[in-house]
Amino acid sequence: MRFLLIETSDNHHETLLSLIAYAKLQPFPTKVYVAAPPAYESLYASLGEVDGFFSLAQDGQALNEWIKAMGIEVIFHNTAYGHAVWKLMRRLPPLPQVGIIHDTEKLHRPSWLGWQIAWKLKKFFVLREKLQKDLPSFWRKKAHTLHLAELPLSLWQKLPPISKPAGEKWFAIPGRIELKRRAYLDLIHELVKGDIAPEWKFLLLGPAEAAYSDWPRIQNELRRYGLLSAFKVFPQGLSFPAYHAYLRVCEGILPLIHPGIPYFSKYLRYQITGAFSLAFIHRKPLFLHEAFALEEDLQDAAFFYSSPSQLIELLRAYPECPLYQKQFWKESSLTLGAVLREVWGRG
C-alpha cells in the first residue's frame, strides 16, 4: 500500500510521527509519503521510514500530479479540520480519504464545515476511547479509536543525549504555554504553600516566546514567589528530537487540566491534549486530575488527584507502581492497518 499523510498546518506533527511508526509496523508492505509545510521537509526527509515528501508551498495541481506520479492509493489527513483542509480535500484525486478528527465538538452539533469533512472521509479516527463512545450514533459507525504511542525508529536514533544533574527529578508540561489550556497558576500557588523539593524541575516544553504565549505572566508569578529556578523554559521551542529527548528522561508528565481553566470542559468532552500521547509514547506516568479517572485507556497510564495539594503529595511520594500493562498501542496499530486495508479495497 502507498499512502499519503497530509498536514497543512504547524500543529499535530507528533501525531503524524506516530502514524509513520505504525505504518511501518503493518504486516503488509507499506510506502509512506508526507505532504506538509516546507519548514518540515528536513524533519521528514531525515526519516528512513518516509518514502517521499511534498512541500505544500506548491499549488494544488502540482500536488495532484505528484500523487499520481508516486502511485498514492490512500490519502490520510492528519488534521481533518478547517477551511484549508476542506478546500484541499475537494481538489484531490478520487482516492479513498481517511483522517483524524482531533476535536469532535462540531460533530455533536450542526456544523456545515465539520459535517462536510466527516462525510467526505471514508473512515475517521479519534484519539481517546471516550470521544468515540460519546459520538452521535451515525458518526460512531465510521469512527475508530487510535492511541498514538510510537515514534519512528529513525527518530529514536536521532534523540540527543540529555544530561540531567544527579538527584534531580524532572516533570514535563508539554504544549503551548497558555493559561486557557493548563492550570500553571494552580501548580505555582500550591508550590508556594509548602517547601518545594529542591530536586524538582518543571520543564515547560512549549516555545515560551511564541505568539499568544502566557510565559511573561507566568514568569512574573515565579519571580514574585522565588520559584523561577524550579522551572526550565525554551524561548524558541525545541526540535522534535530534542523535545522527545527531554521527555525520555523526565519522571512524569503533567497535563495540568483542572476545573476552572477555560478549556477544561473541551478537553474533557471533545478533544485530547497532546500530553496524553506523549506520555504513551515514552511510557511515562501521567499525573492527571480525577475528572479523567473513569476512562479505561487512561487508568493504566496515570496517577489521579482531586486537588492541586494532592498533586504535590503525589509528586513528593513519586509512586513507582507499574503502569502501561495493557499495551493498547499494539491494538491501535492493528486497527490502523485494518481500516487502511478496508478503504484500500484489497484487504
Q: b vs e for 323-336, b when ≥16 Cβ sit within 10 Å of the residue's Cβ?
A: beeeebbeebbebb
Q: Environment class of residue 10 by beta-carbon count within 10 Å: exposed (0-12), middle (13-18) or buried (19+)?
A: exposed
pTM over cut 0.85: yes
Angstrom distances, CA of residue 158 to CA of 15, 161, 243: 18, 9, 11
Three cell numbers, residue 216: 511573561
At 158, phi and psi to the nearest 5? -95, -5
Residue with cell 479513498: 96
Confirm if 176 and 243 have CB atoms less than 8 A apart.
Answer: no
Contact in structure between 93 and 66 (CB atoms under 8 Å): no
**Domain with residues 2-155+329-344, CATH architecture:** 3-Layer(aba) Sandwich (3.40)
Cell of 194: 509548602
Q: Which helix (H) or strand (E) holds 140?
A: helix 137-140
The structural domains of the chain, with segments of one domain joined by +, span 2-155+329-344, 159-271+286-317
By CB atoms closer than 10 A (0-12, 13-18, 19+), residue 41 is middle
Q: Please answer whether residues 168 and 199 qualify as being in contact, where contact means their C-beta atoms are separated by less than 8 angstroms.
A: yes
Q: Which distant-in-sequence residues (6+ apart) come within 8 Å of 96 by Cβ?
A: 73, 74, 75, 122, 343, 344, 345
Domain 2-155+329-344 and domain 159-271+286-317, same fold? Reply is: yes
Burial bucket for residue 136 (CB in 10 Å: 0-12, 13-18, 19+): exposed
Fold of 159-271+286-317: Rossmann fold (3.40.50)
List Cβ neighbours of 282 (8 Å cut-off, separation of 6 or more): 244, 247, 248, 250, 253
For residue 169, how many other CB atoms are within 10 A of its CB?
Answer: 16
Distance from C-alpha of 140 to C-alpha of 134, rounded to nearest angstrom: 8
Task: Compute the distance between CA of residue 101 and CA of residue 285 in angstroms, rounded to an integer.
Answer: 25
pLDDT along the chain (347 residues), means of 10: 96 96 92 97 97 92 96 98 95 97 96 96 96 96 95 96 94 96 97 89 96 96 96 95 97 97 96 95 96 93 96 90 82 93 85
Cα separation, 106 vs 256, whole angstroms:
25
